[in-house]
Amino acid sequence: MITNSITTRLPRLLLLLGLVSAIFFWAAPRAAAEEYDETLDRLDRLQQLATDYAADSEDDPILLTLSYTRTGDYNTAMWQLTAGARDTEFDSYVEEHDADLSALQGMNTVTLPNGQQIDFGHLLASMNLVYNGLPITGSWGGDCMQLAQAYAGQASDAAGYADLMRDTFAIDDDGSTSKFGDQDLRADLDSVVVGSQLTKDSNIADALRSYYTDLTDYDRAYQFISLSFGTVDTKSDAFGDTVYESMLADSGMQLLLYMNGMWTGSIWTVDESYAPALRGATDLLTEYLSNAVDGEKVKSETNDRLVAMGSQALADALNALGDSEAASAALAAGDQTVSGTTSSTSAVLSDATETLQNHFNVKIFELVLLIVAAVAIFFLIMSCALFVSHRRGR
C-alpha cells in the first residue's frame, strides 16, 4: 500500500517541485532587477534633493549626493580628510523631505543587470574619491592595502604572497570572508570608470544605468586599464611593474599607507617589510586585468592617466597629523616627481586636484585629533582622581 501510494503521488510531486523551481528562478531575477532599479531611483531622488538644496549656495550636488551615502567605514577621519565631511544640514534636509533615502546609507550587495553582484556602498564611496581627484585610494589601492595587511608576515616575497592571497582574491564574497572579493573588485573598477565621467551637471543614476547596460568583464577591465595606466601591453611583465608603481606613486595612497603604518615618514617611501605583500596584491590584480582583456594591448585614446592630489595637499594633511618631518619629506619627494606627473583625463579631476592642492581643508581632521586628545586627557584625570581616592580610602 505504501509503495503504491508513493508511486501514484510521485508524478504530482515532481510536477509541483518543477513549478516551485520555475517560480523561484523566475522571481529571483525579477527581485534583483527591482532592487537595482529601486536603488538607482533612490539615487536619482537624492541627487534632485541635493540640487534643490545647493541652488542658493556653492555646494556641489554631486558631492552632497555621494557623501550622504558614506557611513561607517566610509566616514572615518581618513575618508573625511580626502572625500570631505558629510553635510549634517543636508542630512536633515533629506530626512525631512524623503526619509526613505536613508536606505542608501550602509548599502552592501546589489545585483547588476548582467547578474553580477557588487558592493554598492563601496562603489558610491569610491566614486566620491575619484570625483575628488583620488582615483586609487578608495578603490583598488585601498583594497590591495587591506589584502597586504591581512597576509603580512606570512611569506618572504611577492610571489609567495600572491600564492597565499589567491585563495581569497576575487572570490564570490560580500566582504564576510575576503578583504578583496569579487564585489569589491567590481566596485573598484567601476568607480574609476564612472567616477571619471562625472561633471557637476551629471546625473549619477543615469551614468550608472548607461554604464551597466550590456556591461562585460572585458569592457569593464579595458576601460579601467586605459584610464588608470594609459596604453599598455597587458601580457608583458612590465604591466605588473606599472600597476605596482602607479599605486606607490599616488599621493593619496601614500597618505593611506602612512596612516596604516606601512609607509616610512622620515624618508617618505614604502616600508620595506610591507613591500612584498603589497606587490603580491597588485600582482594578483594585474593577473586578473590581463586575463579579463585576453592579454591584449590596451590603447588609450589620449594616453592621459588619472592623477591624485599634489604634494602640497599631502604635506598639509601630514602637518595636521603632527608629523612635520614626514610633511617635509613628502614635499621633497613630490618636487622630484613633478615633471613626470601625467594630466587628468577630465576637467573635473583637474579641478578637484587643483582644489586639493591649493585649498586642502584639514580643519575637520584637526578637530578629530583635538577631540581624541581631550577624551584622553579626561580619562587620565579621572584615573588619577580615582587612584588618589583609593589611596585615601586605605
Distances (CA, A) of 148 to 278, 282, 309: 5, 9, 24
Mean pLDDT, rounded, for 113-131: 97
CA atoms within 13 A on the CB side of 1: 0
- pLDDT tens digit string along 82-114? 898 899 999 999 999 999 999 999 999 999 999
What are 89's three cell numbers? 544640514
The long-range contacts involving 258-261, CB below 8 angstroms and separated by at least 24 positions, are: 258/318, 258/326, 259/78, 259/321, 260/145, 260/149
Once rounded to an integer, what is the mean pLDDT over residues 296-306?
83
- Is pLDDT at 6 greater than 60 in this prediction? no
Q: Is the pLDDT of residue 273 over 60?
A: yes
Query: What value does the mean pLDDT take over residues 284-311?
Result: 88
Mean pLDDT of 283-310: 88
Position with higher pLDDT, 321 vs 12: 321
> Grid coordinates standing for 148?
597586504
* Average pLDDT score over residue span 53-58: 93
Rounded Cα distance between 372 and 256, Å, is 20
Q: Does residue 162 register a pLDDT over 90?
A: yes
Q: What does R_g of the chain's alpha carbons equal in angstroms?
A: 25
- Return the C-alpha cell found at 273: 617589510
Using alpha carbons only, what angle is made at residue 110 by residues 66 and 221, rounded to the nearest 5 degrees? 80
Whether the predicted pLDDT of 33 surpasses 50? yes
Beta strands in 53-113 (DSSP E): 109-111
The C-alpha cell at 191 is 568607480
DSSP 224: H
User: Which run of H or E residues covers position 96?
Assistant: helix 88-97
**CB half-sphere exposure, 210, CA atoms < 13 A:** 11
SS3 271: coil
Q: For all residues of the chain together, what is the average pLDDT?
A: 84
Q: What is the pTM of this model?
A: 0.80
What's the pLDDT at 34? 74
In this predicted structure, the answer to whether residue 387 has a pLDDT above a threshold of 90 is no
Hey, what's the cell of 343? 594630466
pLDDT digits (tens, 9 = 90+) for 202-257: 999 999 999 999 999 999 999 999 999 999 999 999 999 999 999 999 999 999 99
Strands 109-111 and 117-119, bridge-based pairing: antiparallel
Weakest mean pLDDT among 1-10, 113-122, 174-183: 1-10
CA 27 to chain centre: 31
- Give the pairing of strands 109-111 and 297-298: unpaired
101-107 long-range contacts, CB within 8 A, separation 24+: 101/42, 101/45, 101/46, 101/49, 101/68, 103/42, 104/39, 104/42, 104/43, 104/46, 104/68, 104/69, 105/68, 105/69, 105/70, 105/71, 106/71, 106/72, 107/39, 107/69
C-beta separation of 290 from 224 below 8 A: no
